[in-house]
Amino acid sequence: MIKPEKLSKDVVAILNNGMHKEYDHMLAYRGAANWCNNNGFFKAAEYFSKQAEEEFGHAKKHQDFMTDWNITPEIPNLDQPVMEFENLCDVIETIYGNELELFHTYQENSTEVFNSGDIAVFDYLQFFRNAQNESVVTYSDMLSILIGTNLDDKFQMLMLEEKLF
């Protein structure tokens, strides 16, 4: 009997790592949403809650891809996300840092997969490269809007929340 094709160990490690990072980001967004909700930034809280759901979908996408290729994904033990922030800008900066780090990870992983000759997985990772690019641009734009803002002026931040989210 013919055995089904499986992904290489190197590719599985990359995909498991990506899945773990997506779960970490899901929790980071939940932490951001909770902080925003508790500090009166309700529109931002709703936005970050939706982003958490999107990150969960990204983790599931990795799992489905691996199981489709006869691999059992490694469900991660997750670290506690950041739950305390100085202000809304600190939330955005934290999320931006997470998204930028994941952007670079997917870029590096894609290069490694491409160089290994696994074009199907390289094509699969395109979705994640595009998603990360969009996230980095979105949060970079938010940070640009906040330049020159008194971050400790809650009224000013509440007014800007409308523009940001």
pLDDT by 10s per residue, the chain, length 165 = 988 888 999 999 999 999 999 999 999 999 999 999 999 999 999 999 999 999 999 999 999 999 999 999 998 888 888 889 999 999 999 999 999 999 999 999 999 999 999 999 999 999 999 999 999 999 999 999 999 999 989 999 999 999 999
Q: CB burial class (10 A; 0-12, 13-18, 19+) of residue 23?
A: buried
CB atoms within 10 A of CB 100: 15
CB atoms within 10 A of CB 150: 10
18 Cβ contact list (under 8 Å, min separation 6): 62, 105, 106, 109, 128
